[in-house]
Structure 1
């Protein structure tokens, strides 16, 4: 029997990985725990958000965590006045992001209700028009970001600038464009949460109503009642499927044998009969749908399809193989819709009169608002952040060419405010004709040290949580998005009374039971190793892993709730999933045989039993 524990380690209890001493210095002061606040910070429960930030932050990359969590919180606490939820406090500890939901004091809850109702009514009363305006705002910001340039400084002020009395040397353009890049990114992160929190609220309202009128309803049945929707987040994957089907129709399949050489592959297609038509469709898909990353958009190393054509070409080649083997590659939307209608009818029949009307009104609102929970991802995490990182790379290459950095990647080891100082150093030394900027001698040692610290931090996995958990976790987003529930936290602590050997427990995220062989994927770069029919085990999946969902039998993740991307995507691809297990990716090894029960939320490591295959392995049962 495991020894039961009441709490997780305190931040100060965690040993610092060898070589990472002094790691606190590489992040802004406000992102690390403070000795002066130890008592207050140790009194709070913090969970690690490895769902969105699965790898150690380089200093420049904290921007995504800061903007995302700050803006999420402002919509709870300042815009919508959610009665029982303020924002989420956050810190970086040993390179990973930890979060602590801020409760609303009991005595303040009632006073927020009327404000909250008026504010959500404002949106829900005119959802389509407001969402259309949101798209206009977000795309406008992206266009403004695209227009920014980081050109080398002009060797000489043009004579016409003298004639026109400009009175500036061009360096202000560099400084202004950097400031604009940061502020435009921040702007789209504020927009990001305007509708996201509403999507969760609508779903939670329906969820809570169902639990009230049907006390024994499984969480999954509630989720099923809003499934089968057409989501823009699936559009990039759908474009690849259409291109695969077109390649088969035009008899171009054999030209996809070496997609690691995209230039040769595309040239061969263009030269083949019917190839022009295929290339035209390929090029049309690029804007905007190839502004898509195999990561999650939060890191400088995330690879985007439009800059790495071997990635989408590889997925297309895989789809072509499956089509030629007779597989159905399109999402089973009709089946999902039929199942949704069956479940809705089943529960609606149990109600009458006003309750039935309320049920349908709440369900309809949840179904309308729910697609945004995934769609926003394409516009912000993928498209906005894709443009952001591309511009950062343009800037870093210009700085390397100007002698500031030896390696353009060095920029990521400075915080965004430090980069601003480096830019002023550059324009000063350039403007006065002094030659190389001071950064060329002042930074190399500092950057080398930071590289060493980041590499050392990567050698340790983060603790799933810190300090003592509360008696009960009520904050809605923590439960729905991250799957951090009272029961789950106790299970992480080893306090699960029903614990069985070789069985991991998590959220019952998508129904179905299968057996198969595990494939543990710790990073998107390892996706190519997945074999057909394996069970994907990962700390978390990214929404952009869609093309592999046709290959695998089930998904198991360490973190994530009913509304996590992994859960939603698996339901929409009709795949069993168990999320929020806490430790699957470090407990299970590639090659282990597993039985995944997405209806119960269990993953069993099978020691000696034959692997089931074939359709009988995938049976759905809804409560």
Structure 2
């Protein structure tokens, strides 16, 4: 019998060793016992699309800034008539969200405010977007300039003579506060245009559904695709570098790309190798400020700091070029397909409706690229610089004896770090022989928290909590996360029977068969072989270089506007997103049929798939060990 609701937060078992986990996160991020009745009455879904692994205490900053700033643009800036922000909580180390509707009686009053505000943006789109880039770049440059130097043994004589009368500890404290503020600043900028991009697309989407009741979601998405997006620039740069390496006859210099220095020295020593190296250096600024993760974790690896990653991708592109493959995206075909579909639908309309169609489509096509491009500037570039500075600070405090591992600062929350800095300033400033007490205090705390985080990682999150509403209307929830009324029912085992397979969102059209490659961590990307089908909890935009290698993509979470969906459409690959459990129920090596037109993934060989979203006639099959708790 299918369950009609998901478990309540209090019903989920705490993994052994994670007892007391609530204490490691800010008090306002966990479910409150005294609000249990209120919070249990709300539907919460897990955003494993952006936060697929357990938070260390410092890392909640990304979740807090992102979701708070998304909400402020809905609820305080743009006054979206039917959607406020999204409440969020951390439960058992994962982030859960609950969209906040606008009470029926307030909707009409917000419409004129909303119209005036978005009217301003859409009327001045290009100049405002140029201004946006200047603002964001200014924040990044200021962040780059921050330093975390150890305090001197003696204040320099120059500071005595100049009458500065300060010891340098104020710079340390100010720079830390400024680092946090600058990250917050760029997250506020992040959503200034993002919500507008979704609104323009959603407006066009709803209009199409009204005038063409049977139009597939994919056809609407196709009508704005085939654009030159900045988010694809890092990958395009690698393709140019691979093409140049082939032109210059440097293929044999890419045999051991894990040795970055050796590879670059070998290229430079080759005839015309210096020409390639010069082009490689140019590509790095800014395009190597790109992470294989998504920018929300301190452990995310950036190309700039781990050049074996881009060099490995370049080597793979060189191999494909030598095999005679085409490595460029099929942009011209995509544009031709877009124009064909636009024309077909336009012809069905009367003149007055056609004008409205053109206006709405034009607006969506203008605003749509930002939905992906912002990602490079904020998640990748801003957060890459942010985490680099956090690591610098952590290592400085490690050298002062505060903790043992270089990145242990991540086990403190951001306010505790400020306490640690003041402890450092005090112990040093008064000349105490023992110095700061931080080492005594923080080592056992960090060890305890490390054990809790590791224990929380042993359990996969439940995809949702509590009873879903009769219908889900909040636009972001549907578009970005793919949390629709139908999909939630599917997770609860209440959808159409899909024998031996999973049902998700028809995110990018086409049908292919191939061998599954399940990826749960960006470090496994090197394992992906030519023509496999990628199965993942979620894909990051920075996985672009493998999209030319694979046949299709299947994800656990994500809607029509998720990165996986957008990237697959731009690469012309079938995709099914939002299956709920593909990554925990499909095994690497199984043969799959992916139908991105219908949103169905079929496993063509045993073992049979079980778990939420999966259906077979063997209802007594044991759920997969890695499947979410309610499977």
With the shorter chain as reference, the TM-score category is: over 0.9
Deviation at 1:410, TM superposition (A): 1.1
Partner in structure 2 of residue 194 of structure 1: 192
- Aligned to 2:594, the other structure's residue is in SS state strand
* Structure 1 match to 2:590: 592
Alignment of 1:509-520 (within 5 A): 509-520=507-518
Residue of structure 2 equivalent to 1:41: 39
The residue number in structure 2 matching 1:616 is none
Aligned to 2:422: 424
Q: Secondary structure at the match of 1:56?
A: coil
Q: How does 1:526-541 map to 2 (within 5 A)?
A: 526-541=524-539
1:365-411 deviations in Å (ceiling 9; x for gaps):
00000000000000000000000000001111111111111112210
- Aligned ranges for residues 99-110 of structure 1 at < 5 Å? 99-110=97-108
Task: Determine the structure 2 residue equivalent to 1:260.
Answer: 258
- Which residue of the partner structure matches residue 111 of structure 2? 113
- Residue 165 of structure 1 and its aligned partner are, at CA, apart by 1.7
Match of 2:620 in 1: none
* Aligned match for 1:399, one of 397, 400, 406: 397
TM-score by length of 2: 0.95
Determine helix, strand or coil for the equivalent of 1:86: strand
Distance 1:588 1:4 in 2: 21
**Secondary structure at the residue paired with 1:514?**
strand
Q: Distance in 2 between matches of 1:357 and 1:347?
A: 12
Of 338, 341, 348, the match for 2:346:
348
Partner of 1:71: 69
| Conserved? CA contact 1:404–1:436, under 8 Å | no
Instruction: Give 5+ residue unaligned stretches, structure 2.
Output: 608-631
Please give the secondary structure, in 2, of the residue aligned with 1:102. Answer: strand
User: Does the CA contact (< 8 Å) of 1:595 and 1:603 recur in 2?
Assistant: yes
Mapped partners of 2:454, 2:158: distance in 1: 50
- Tell which deviates more after alignment, 351-360 or 430-439: 430-439
What is the CA-CA distance between 1:160 and the residue it aligns to? 2.0
Which of 287, 290, 298 aligns to 2:288? It is 290
1:455 is aligned to 2:458: no
Report the Cα offset of residue 607 of structure 1.
2.3
The residue aligned with 1:238 is 236
Query: SS of the counterpart of 1:426?
Result: helix
- Give yes or no for the alignment of 1:409 onto 2:407: yes
Counterpart CA distance in 1 for 2:38 and 2:53 is 27
**Conservation of the 8 A alpha-carbon contact between 1:396 and 1:411:** yes
What CA distance in whole angstroms lies between the structure 1 residues aligned with 2:604 and 2:435? Answer: 63
- Equivalent residues in 2 for 1:148-297 (5 A)? 148-297=146-295
Once the two structures are superposed, the pairs formed by residues 293-332 of structure 1 within 5 Å of their partners are 293-332=291-330
Q: 1:608, CA displacement in angstroms?
A: 7.5
> Following the alignment from structure 1 to structure 2, what is the Cα–Cα distance between the partners of residues 84 and 207?
16
1:166, CA displacement in angstroms? Answer: 1.3
The match for 2:331 is: 333
Q: Secondary structure at the match of 1:15?
A: coil
What are the equivalent positions in structure 2 for 1:12-161 lying under 5 Å apart?
12-161=10-159
**Paired residue for 2:616?**
none
Q: Provide structure 1 residue ranges, at least 5 long, that are not aligned to the other structure.
A: 610-623
CA distance in 1, matches of 2:311, 2:186: 30
The aligned counterpart of 1:620 is: none
Please state how far the C-alpha of 1:500 moved relative to its aligned partner: 2.4
Cα distance in structure 1, aligned partners of 2:560 and 2:481: 8
Q: Residues 58-83 of structure 1: CA distance to partner in whole angstroms, max 9, x if unpaired?
A: 00000000000000000000000000
Any conservation in 1 of the 2:402–2:443 contact (CA below 8 Å)?
Answer: no
Q: Deviations over 1:206-247 (max 9, x none)?
A: 000000000000000000000000000000000000000000
**Residues in 2 aligned to 1:5 and 1:162: alpha-carbon distance in whole angstroms:** 73
Out of 355, 358, 365, the residue aligned to residue 357 of structure 1 is 355
Q: What is the aligned partner in structure 1 of residue 611 from structure 2?
A: none
Deviation at 1:443, TM superposition (A): 1.1
Residue 475 of structure 1 corresponds to which residue in structure 2?
474
Instruction: Write the distance in 1 (CA, Å) between the matches of 2:308 and 2:302.
Output: 10
Q: Which residue of the partner structure matches residue 488 of structure 1?
A: 487
Q: Distance in 2 between matches of 1:323 and 1:73?
A: 45
Shift >3 Å, 4+ stretches: none
Instruction: Please show how residues 578-589 of structure 1 align to structure 2 within 5 Å.
Output: 578-589=576-587
SS at match of 2:340: helix
How far the C-alpha of 1:436 sits from its partner, in A, is: 2.7
| CA contact 1:227–1:340 (8 Å) conserved in 2 | yes
Q: Aligned partners of 1:190, 1:507: CA distance in 2, in Å?
A: 30
Question: How far apart are the structure 2 equivalents of 1:457 and 1:597?
Answer: 35
CA shift digits 1:81-105 (9 cap, x unpaired): 0000000000000000000000000
Q: Indicate the SS of the match to 1:408.
A: coil
CA deviation map 1:110-159 (0-9, x unaligned): 10000000000000001000000000000000000000001111111112
RMSD: 0.8
Give the match's secondary structure for 1:536: strand
Q: Which residue of 1 aligns with 2:438?
A: 439
Q: In 2, are the aligned partners of 1:403 and 1:436 still within 8 Å (CA)?
A: no
CA distance in 2, matches of 1:328, 1:595: 24
Q: CA deviation at 1:161?
A: 1.3
Q: Distance in 2 between matches of 1:566 and 1:431?
A: 52
Paired with 2:352 and 2:127, the residues of 1 have a C-alpha distance of 29
Q: Deviations over 1:518-552 (max 9, x none)?
A: 00000000000011010000000000000000000
Indicate whether 1:545 and 2:543 are aligned: yes
Question: Cα deviations across residues 172-207 of structure 1 (Å, max 9, x unaligned)?
Answer: 000000000000000000000000000000000000
Q: Secondary structure at the match of 1:561?
A: coil
Provide TM-score, normalisation by structure 1. 0.97
Measured in 2, the distance between the counterparts of 1:499 and 1:177 equals 57
